[in-house]
């Protein structure tokens, strides 16, 4: 039987976590006496937490590391409160039933991802999980997934939500579907030709 592999991003694709990260980053920065408005933090959001913090302001390496650890710990604690994006559970269940190999690829830390997936009882649908700690770039992770399941990258569908994800898919040569419902880059991607409104429209 031909292997069918689909890779899902987590934040903004399966769970609606943008405000959780903004609020947590904002609170952590206040504790370090660095006052940045939430609007500034929202504009600074990057593909990884470390990049987001560098976009926000100039922090000494020890402060940057302390902030990163504190924020990751706090969002992991709050993961049980994060909401699923529309039709996430139904879509994963449908794809699993059709025989897809479902892989999670997230820039979030492992504890947050696991807590969020367990809270919403969707962990069981994934064959493999890749976290920020496990790969240097998402391109490298998708190539590793292709190697693990012995399928060409062009046969992998990557389901994500950010403008940077479109570039990642182009770089690695895989298919891309952008989901707008909880997207962190919704305004930038409305005219993206591979965009769908929500996961219910995912037709593969």
Specify the pLDDT at position 33: 72
Cα 134 to its chain centre, rounded Å, is 14
**Strand order from edge to edge, sheet including 5-8:** 128-130, 101-105, 5-8, 157-160, 175-179, 195-196
Q: What is the pTM of this model?
A: 0.93
Where is 115: in which H helix or E strand? helix 110-119
Tokens of 67: 């902030």
Computed on alpha carbons and rounded to an integer, the radius of gyration of the chain in Å comes to 17
pLDDT tens digits for 55-111? 998 889 999 999 999 999 999 999 999 999 999 999 999 999 999 999 999 999 999
Give the span between the Cα atoms of 118 and 109, in whole angstroms. 15
Q: Is 80 helix (H, G, I), strand (E, B) or coil?
A: helix
Q: Residue 148 — left, alpha, or beta (φ > 0 → left; ψ -120 to 50 → alpha)?
A: alpha
Give Cα 153 to chain centroid, integer Å. Answer: 19
Q: May I ask the CATH architecture of the domain 5-16+82-201?
A: 3-Layer(aba) Sandwich (3.40)
Q: Where are the domains of the chain?
A: 5-16+82-201, 18-81
With 90 as the cut, is the pLDDT of residue 37 above it?
A: yes
Q: Where do the DSSP E strands lie in the chain?
A: 5-8, 15-16, 83-84, 101-105, 128-130, 157-160, 175-179, 195-196
- pLDDT > 70? residue 1: no
Q: What SS3 state is found at 59?
A: coil
Share of the chain above pLDDT 90, in %: 84
Cα separation, 157 vs 169, in Å, equals 9
CB-based contact 76:115 (threshold 8 Å): yes
């Amino acid at each position: 039987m031909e292997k069918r592999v689909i890779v899902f991003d987590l934040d903004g694709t399966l769970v609606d976590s943008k405000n959780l990260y903004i609020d947590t980053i904002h609170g952590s920065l206040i504790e370090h006496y660095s006052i940045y408005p939430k609007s500034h933090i929202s504009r600074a959001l990057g593909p990884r937490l470390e990049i987001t913090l560098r976009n926000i302001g100039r922090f000494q390496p020890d402060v940057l590391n302390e902030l990163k650890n504190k924020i990751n710990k706090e969002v992991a604690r709050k993961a049980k409160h994060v909401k699923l994006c529309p039709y996430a559970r139904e879509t994963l269940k449908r794809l699993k039933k059709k025989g897809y190999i479902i892989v999670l690829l997230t820039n979030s830390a492992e504890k947050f991802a696991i807590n969020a997936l367990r809270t919403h009882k969707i962990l069981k649908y994934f064959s493999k999980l890749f976290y920020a700690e496990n790969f240097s770039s998402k391109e490298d992770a998708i190539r590793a997934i292709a190697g693990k399941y012995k399928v060409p990258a062009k046969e992998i569908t990557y389901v994500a939500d950010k403008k940077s994800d479109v570039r990642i898919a182009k770089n690695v040569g895989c298919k891309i579907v952008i989901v707008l419902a909880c997207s962190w880059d919704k305004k930038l991607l409305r005219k993206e030709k591979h965009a769908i409104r929500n996961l219910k429209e995912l037709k593969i």
